[in-house]
Structure 1
Amino acid sequence: MESRYGHELHEATHRTARLIVERDEHSRSADETVSLSDLANDELAEYDVLWWHREQPMGSSARARLDDASNSLREFLSAGGGLLLTHGAVEAAEALGIETSRPDVVEQTDAEESGFLVRPQYKHHPIFEGIDTLRPEPAPASDAVTVAYDSLYPRDADVLASRHLDGEDCPSESSILCWTVGDGRVVGVGSDLSGRHTETQRRLFKNCLAYAAGAEEAPATTGRPKDREEFEALREVVPDENHRPAYHFTAPANWLNDPNGLVQWNGRYHLFYQYNPAGPFHGSIHWGHAVSDDLVSWTDEPVALAPDQDGPDADGVWSGCFVDDDGTPTVMYTGGASNDQLPCLARATDGALRNWKKDPRNPLIQRVPDEVDILQTIDWDYEFRDHCVWREDETWYQVIGSGIDGEGGAALLFESDDLLEWEYCHPLLTGDWRRTGPMWECPELLRFDNGAVLHVSDYSKVVWFAGEYDESTRQFDSEETGLLDHGVFYAPQSFVDDDGRTLMFGWLKEDRDGEAQWDAGWSGAMSLPRVVSLTEDGALQYSLPEEIQRLRETHHSYADLTISPDEPTTLSPVEGDMLELKLTVDATNVGEFGIVLRETPDGSERTVVRCNIRKRTVTVDRSQSSLSDAVNDQPHSMPVSLESDGSLSLHLYLDRSVLELFANDAQALATRIYPTREDSTGVSLYAADTDVSVEALEIWDLGA
């Protein structure tokens, strides 16, 4: 077939035709124009690619003409033809049935300069050949309409790039898209190909035409990942071996936050989580899914739940929990739409928990209870989200996170006979906004043989309340309180496994700026699973499941070691960025000692775990953790108490940018560090003022 670029679809206006000819005069071997109305009767087989550009949104007239031509266009694409849609013409992808979701940004930009922001996993895509940066040179913004997906993510497209406006990243505005239709390819560029051009934009245009026309080559993208193999391939193009954790779970790419729907079902562990496939930022939230047989090795599964554009979860399928409804796997989640956030329900249709059917009655609670003055904010009509559901006899109960105006965060209790119709009971617990914030997210009630724990997330930290839950009155009496973690651990969720253990996962937030997260191509990690229980005194305690020991490789053991203040104790040959360390010291007459991790030979990068026994604190000093100015270098600290014999035990897990630290099984601190140098692998001990006696020190190199 003769190569003929540039068979142009347009509304037969002379101005549009001239613009098209000017843009393509250096790249095509042949070009012709045809009106959209004549397309249905036109012979397309001799052409490689069609280009359709619109300066304005698609109106009803253009859509009607497109309907007449749709069969001809789809036959052309299925046979291997290519289609380039620019600016307003990108709307045609949904009209042609190529894309399920309608773009929600169709407007003129008010920016002075406009460019595109390449997603890191696609930086080697043929469309970006010769473009060697994720943020190419912008151009003066034009008057042409911009088409993009913002609050909604396209269901069927590969999103290759977002927008970059007036020097600022706009990651949520997905504007360069690719689809595969039969043997053909469709490329949509919703902005930056109208008006005056830079050399980068001219190159982008040529590349788009060439890629759309290249039916003889395997496509570089085939749509959003749908199975394990495709998710694994996505992981391989976003390695970030310096910072991406190896044995802590992360999403294949893009954004991860809260753990959701945790369960062991038919012997297999299931981890659902808040996931944005559009990129490493919080946006169009779906439920990601991974499975494991041992809590250590996780395998990606297809996305479990996605927003429905016209549904009660159009803006996101937010956090929720799993319940077993007489053998039917069921999840309760928050659907976000417009200014509402309301409870929704879905049921699995298979035993592998891969396919879910949303209840047509969603949202199940249509409005917040009138009995309490629910907090209202500029973003939401009512702050009312996140679920903890359980069953007592024949009655279901759930706690929803909220806030009471003028009082503080609240966990609101509801009851139901069938999971579908819910009646408000009362606040299970209400906080003081001055101490625990105005709004509580992700509430969860945990019950043990010797008491109960309610934990809530107040935007910055996770607060626990220990006490008694009375099943007869449905009241919770709080006796003790504290923090679940003193670092970046947030929005935890728990479940009881087949061995009777209460296992908790939490989201480990990033601590570097949004630009750095975009450049990495991923954001967020899950904590290691923590076994949570109550002590005899009614306080929380933590341990790690035995399965985590399977990560251990080379073992280093030290006994009766003395750390002198005269010089650091180097632990050669121990080094690395994936380690487990268990340390017990006699802290009876000690001032300060500590552990140095991720240290370069010249000391320019180092992370110091400082144990100040006089102040009874353990602090992760991050002031020299990274040479990058894109990271947070502020310390994280937690209080500690000595054992009755005066000893202090520390248990650390280092996984590249993740550090999880436990003290005497009673306090936890998770933090993030981002060394820039490959030789930031040294490990040592130090004492500040007096000799420190190390009773036991064990270190393991960890695998993944």
Structure 2
Amino acid sequence: MNIKNGIDNSEVEPITSTKVAHLVSADAAEPSSSLNWSFLVPEADTVTVENLQKSDLDDYDVLWWHSESTLDDPDIALDSLRSFVESGGGLLLSHGAVTAATTLGIEAHEPDCVQQGANSTGFLIRSLYSSHPVFEGIDELEFQTTSPQPTLEVHYKKRMPHDADVLAATVDPTSRLPGKKSLLHWSVENGRVIGVGHGLAADTTDHPFDKARSVLLRNLLTYLSGKGDTPATMGRPKGREEFEAMRRSVSDARHRPKYHFTPPANWLNDPNGLVQWNGRYHLFYQYNPAGPFHGTIHWGHAVSDDLIHWEDEPIALEPTSGDPDEHGCWSGAFVDDDGTPLVMYTGGSGREQLPCLATADDDSLRSWSKHPSNPVIETPPESVDVLSTVHWEAEFRDHALHKIDGIWYQIVGAGIEREGGTALLYRSDDLQNWDYCHPILVGDWRETGPMWECPELLRFNEGDLLHISDYSNVVAFTGNYNERTMRFEPRHRSLLDYGDFYAPQSFETDDGRTITLGWVREAQSEENQWKAGWSGLMSLPRVVTMTDEQQVQLDVVDEVTQLREKHYRFEDVEVSPEKSGYLDEISGDALEFSITLDVEEVEEFGLILRSSPDSEERTVITCDVRHREVFIDRSESSLDPNAVDTRQSMPIRLQKDGTITLRVFLDRSVVEIFSNDGQCLTSRIYPSRSDSLGVDLCATHEGATVSSLDVWEMRSSSG
């Protein structure tokens, strides 16, 4: 990321109305560097942390504890400090003192990254908290407070704090990924505690970042004294108002979809644990509450009565320190075990990823208890040379389960060295003790990749579908699953979607439909995702069916018609290469189109979306009848040079009457295209202009005749 420093150059006024005391250790080898800040807090006192009495602290608004060394079992007056904070005092923990948060009992998870002499130079503010009082006067999300120096730094890296809000991540010039969580906020009874893992070491050298550091420190001490409101987005949301506050804070009106599901804020990827339970639909998903980037994965949760209008629920699963999922609760599936709701998911710890089990505490599916014997499979199978990579001892994750004649079977995604991706089959009588069987299918790494993620086996009367995700695409094998040999016998191979659709998961509804949802990935820079404050969305729910020829077909669920508002109808439209303005009465960024073309009167037809008045920005979907192809041209979709502009395409087939029908769903930055033969293409576009709302038709060569065109304006699914 490269977001410029945004500090105002005006002088920073010293703090005079807030009573501050420096906490120091009586046996410290050298004075705390926080004492070098006397120009900012000229009237601050010094108090030793050992043998404090509560009465010693009554005269202070804020205590600042700074340490340039680790605190191994520090000898502190625990009760006095806790009492000070709980009664409304403010506590600033900086550098090594951040590790005292667990000793004080305000944080359950210890920091997992404590290092000397790192490269950190500043902070990357989360958009969710950009209006927090501690960032007043800081106009950009990225700002530097120091040059690299050999000071102690404390971060949460693979781990996430359990009780703190992460206000900002670390700026590290050697890595542009915001994985280190270093500016933390705890609310403790009536008091406030902030931890700053780096960047506050004052020195005598004048450099360009002095004012930035001073502005931040002044804001921190002022806020900790009780001045300034705590934003509504602080704390883990549990109710509707809190979730709505999160969504408002990162609304992103230009690109955040109106009727596709997105996370309340932060990062979303794979759908997990999809189920209709007691009549309600439950969507669990991979979620990072620390920000819009992949890492520290939890299970987010949303519920719906109709697959379209979703309500946010509290986090369902989170990593547990010291457990096999301490670094992430990754993808998994729902299991109905004779009326008992369970989930099988992958737990990540260090370089291991292994299957874990959890049981719902009640039928709301809001809270879950992890199995005490996790992981339920302790190692990948020794008889298979499971792929090992720089990140993982074994690429072994993601689960799908089914039951045959009272026996549970699950497939786990994996790769086999020098062969290719695979789905490994296990069997069990009780979901807790598993016996390895064999791979149900092994791919060729040159064609379907070295590792198969999120495998799923779906069974239909016409045949069976095994789909896998190979890092780039969702590959669909259709054929038959042989229950005797317990192997998949493929007949056809295709793609389940030809665009930005990944890691789908399916479930059966009470009315017998097989519904699938997939993660729609971002196609813009990590910097833009960080600025937006959210990343990732779910596709519209799709019905999965299979033809007698064992061709898989997908179509959007009928429930989506609830979102339709104003309707426009056109018939027998003659589209000429020389003309434009066919749809001047229509504009918008949330629309549905249904188009029927007679191929005898069409060679190449185009639908233009999100066009600026001067056509400087526009996206064109073209149906090339001669080559039986639909493609989306994103070369002019955005003036943003960081937006992806590659062409995407999918094959199409004619209907028996010689026509082609397309359904197109536009929702701000996402486009989903469905053809009459069940093919899908999902794409992302990022117009930069607020007036890129126009739609039109176009044609090449001899022109085109559109037999019928229906357009609907679409309402938001959140209201």
On whether the aligned pair clears a TM of 0.5, the verdict is: yes
Report the counterpart of residue 680 of structure 2 in structure 1. Answer: 668
Aligned: 1:454 with 2:462:
no
Task: Name which of 100, 111, 115 aligns with 1:107.
Answer: 115
SS of residue matched to 1:373: coil
Give the counterpart letter for 1:187 in structure 2: I
Find the aligned partners of 1:41 and 1:643 in 2 and give their Cα distance. Answer: 81
- The answer to whether the aligner puts 1:160 opposite 2:172 as a matched pair is no
Specify the SS of the correspondent of 1:518.
Answer: helix
Say if 2:130 is the partner of 1:123.
yes
User: Quick one: which of 122, 134, 143 aligns to 1:136?
Assistant: 143
2:78 alignment partner in structure 1:
70
1:53–1:89 contact (8 Å) kept in structure 2 = yes
* Residue number among 9, 19, 35 corresponding to 1:5 in the alignment: 19
Report the 3-state secondary structure (helix = DSSP H, G, I; strand = E; otherwise coil) of the residue aligned with 1:700.
strand
Shift of 1:366: 0.6
In the alignment, the residues of structure 2 paired with residue 212 and residue 203 of structure 1 have an alpha-carbon distance, to the nearest angstrom, of 14
What is the rounded CA distance, in whole Å, between the counterparts of 2:588 and 2:677 in structure 1? 25
Indicate which of 509, 517, 530 corresponds to 2:542.
Answer: 530
1:304 to 298, 308, 316: 316
1:621 is displaced (CA, Å) by: 0.4
In the TM superposition, 1:637-648 aligns within 5 A as: 637-648=649-660
Query: Alignment partner for residue 627 of structure 1, among 631, 634, 639?
Result: 639
In the alignment, is residue 31 of structure 1 matched against residue 38 of structure 2? no
Amino acid at match of 1:83: L
Report the secondary structure of 1:209's partner residue: helix
Q: What's the secondary structure of 1:680's corresponding residue?
A: coil
Per-residue Cα deviation, 1:147-193 (whole angstroms, up to 9, x for no partner): 11111111111111011122854411111111011100001111110
Cα deviation per residue 1:584-605 (whole Å; 9 max; x = unaligned)? 1112353321111000000100
Residue 576 of structure 2 corresponds to which residue in structure 1? 564
The equivalences for 1:304-703 within 5 A come to 304-588=316-600, 590-703=602-715
Q: Is the 1:413–1:424 contact (alpha carbons within 8 Å) kept by the matching residues of 2?
A: yes
Q: Distance in 1 between matches of 2:29 and 2:385?
A: 58
The residue identity in structure 1 corresponding to 2:36 is: E
SS for the counterpart of 2:437 is: strand
One-letter identity of the residue aligned with 2:157: D
Compute the displacement of 1:26 (Å).
2.9
Distance 1:371 1:190 in 2: 45
Moved over 3 A (4+): 12-19, 167-170, 215-222
Paired AA for residue 685 in structure 2 = I
Structure 2: distance between partners of 1:313 and 1:479 = 38
Is the Cα–Cα contact under 8 Å of residues 672 and 680 in structure 2 kept in the other structure?
yes
Look up the equivalent residue of 2:52 and give its one-letter code. L
TM superposition shift of 1:567: 1.5
Structure 2: distance between partners of 1:218 and 1:580: 41
Q: Does structure 2 retain, via aligned residues, the 8 Å contact 1:264–1:270?
A: yes
**Counterpart amino acid of 1:59?**
D
CA distance in 2, matches of 1:17, 1:57: 15
- 1:597, 1:608 within 8 Å by CA — same for their partners in 2? yes
- Equivalent AA in structure 2 for residue 127 of structure 1: V
Answer whether contact 1:235 1:252 (CA < 8 A) is retained: yes
Q: Is the 8 A contact 1:622 1:673 kept in 2?
A: yes
- Assess, with a 3 A threshold, how the Cα gap between structure 1 residues 684 and 167 changes in structure 2: closer, same or farther: farther
Count residues in correspondence: 696
Residue type of the alignment partner of 1:547: E
Q: Deviations for 1:615-636, whole angstroms, at most 9, x for unmatched residues?
A: 2211110000000011111111
- The correspondence for 1:192, drawn from 194, 199, 202, is 199
**1:3·1:48 contact (CA, 8 Å) conserved in 2?**
no
Aligned partners of 1:647 and 1:636: how far apart in 2?
Answer: 22
Matched AA of 2:236 = R
**Change beyond 3 A, Cα 1:264–1:24:** farther
Name the amino acid aligned to 1:96. L
SS at match of 1:234: helix
Amino acid in structure 2 at the alignment position of 1:31: A
Distance 2:229 2:387 in 1: 56
State which of 67, 70, 76 in structure 2 corresponds to 1:54.
67
What residue identity is the alignment partner of 1:82? Answer: G
**Residues 388, 18 of structure 1: alpha-carbon distance in 2 compared, 3 angstrom cutoff:** closer
Does the residue aligned with 1:140 lie in a helix, a strand or coil? Answer: coil
Change (3 A) 1:680 1:41: closer
Partners of 2:132 and 2:230 within 8 A in 1: no
Unaligned segments of structure 2, at least 5 residues: 1-15, 204-208
Secondary structure of 1:71's match?
A: helix
Shift of residue 40, structure 1, vs aligned partner:
4.0
RMSD value over aligned CA atoms? 1.7
- 1:283-310 deviations in whole A, cap 9, x for unaligned? 0000000000011110000000001111
Q: Is the 8 A contact 1:584 1:647 kept in 2?
A: yes
Give the distance between the partners of 1:570 and 1:407, measured in 2 at CA: 53
How far residue 334 of structure 1 moved from its aligned partner, in angstroms, is 0.5
Residue 255 of structure 1 pairs with residue 262 of structure 2:
no
3-state SS of 1:575 partner: coil
- Please list every run of 5 or more consecutive structure 1 residues that lacks an aligned counterpart in the other structure: none
Distance in 1 of aligned mates of 2:50 and 2:524: 52
Structure 2: how far apart are the matches of 1:93 and 1:551? 48
Measured in 2, the distance between the counterparts of 1:12 and 1:215 equals 31
Determine if contact 1:411/1:427 at 8 Å carries over to the other structure. Answer: yes
Over 3 Å counting, the alpha-carbon distance change for 1:221 and 1:210 in structure 2 is farther
Which secondary structure state, in structure 1, belongs to the residue aligned with residue 295 of structure 2?
coil
d(CA) in 2 for partners of 1:528, 1:18: 56
- Contact preservation (8 Å) 2:32, 2:68: no
| Partner amino acid, structure 2, of 1:84 | L
Q: Does 1:294 align with 2:294?
A: no
Q: Is the 8 A contact 1:118 1:160 kept in 2?
A: yes
**CA distance in 2 between partners of 1:654 and 1:109 (Å):** 49
Tell me by how many angstroms 1:195 deviates.
Answer: 3.4
Partner secondary structure for residue 326 of structure 2: coil
1:523-565 Cα offsets, whole Å, 9 max, x none, are 0000000000001221011122111100000000001111112
**Aligned partners of 2:569 and 2:593: how far apart in 1?**
10
